[in-house]
């Protein structure tokens, strides 16, 4: 990962970790599904693509994505200068980093407890 991309991803991770409660689901599969849904909708919004709102889950992910996309556009000027390919790559890298921090690299044993 290039230094600039890494720095940008870490800025976005920092925002999510400090401002988004959705990252705290108690099971790994919930976090995987939610991270995927919110990151997809965020990318679509940032790239000005159509967003599917056909299910309650889609609408829930969209609300979180809308808040993030609007805040990121205001807080991080560089987002407004990126093209669609750059935004897509950035959000994909962010999604992978977020999955590592909240799921695969997490020491929270509740995430994998079959009885929980």
pLDDT tens figures, 44-91: 999 999 999 999 999 999 999 999 999 999 999 999 999 999 999 999
DSSP conformational letter for 26: S
pLDDT at 47: 98
pLDDT at 1: 60
Q: Phi first, then psi: what are they for 25, rounded to 5°? A: -55, 150
Q: Where are the alpha helices (DSSP H) in the chain?
A: 3-19, 28-46, 56-75, 84-99
Cβ atoms of residues 95 and 36 within 8 Å: yes
59 lies in a domain? yes
Q: Which domain holds residue 64?
A: 1-19+30-108
Residues 6+ positions from 100 with CB-CB distance below 8 Å: none
Give this prediction's pTM: 0.89
pLDDT at 52: 96
25 lies in a domain? no
pLDDT at 112: 62
79 lies in a domain? yes
- The domain tally of the chain equals 1
Taking CA atoms, 84 is separated from 70, 94, 106, in Å, by: 16, 15, 31
**Residue bearing the bigger pLDDT, 24 or 4:** 4
Token output for 46? 């940032």
pLDDT at 109: 63
């Amino acid at each position: 990962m290039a230094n600039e991309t890494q720095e940008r991803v870490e800025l976005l991770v920092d925002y999510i970790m400090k401002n988004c409660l959705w990252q705290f689901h108690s099971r790994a599969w919930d976090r995987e599904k939610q991270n995927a849904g919110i990151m997809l909708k965020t990318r679509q919004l940032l790239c000005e693509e159509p967003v599917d709102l056909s299910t309650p889950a889609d609408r829930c992910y969209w609300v979180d994505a809308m808040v993030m996309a609007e805040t990121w556009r205001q807080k991080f000027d560089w987002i407004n200068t990126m093209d669609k390919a750059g935004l897509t790559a950035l959000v994909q890298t962010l999604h992978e980093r977020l999955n590592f921090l909240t799921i695969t690299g997490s020491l929270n044993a509740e995430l994998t407890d079959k009885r929980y």
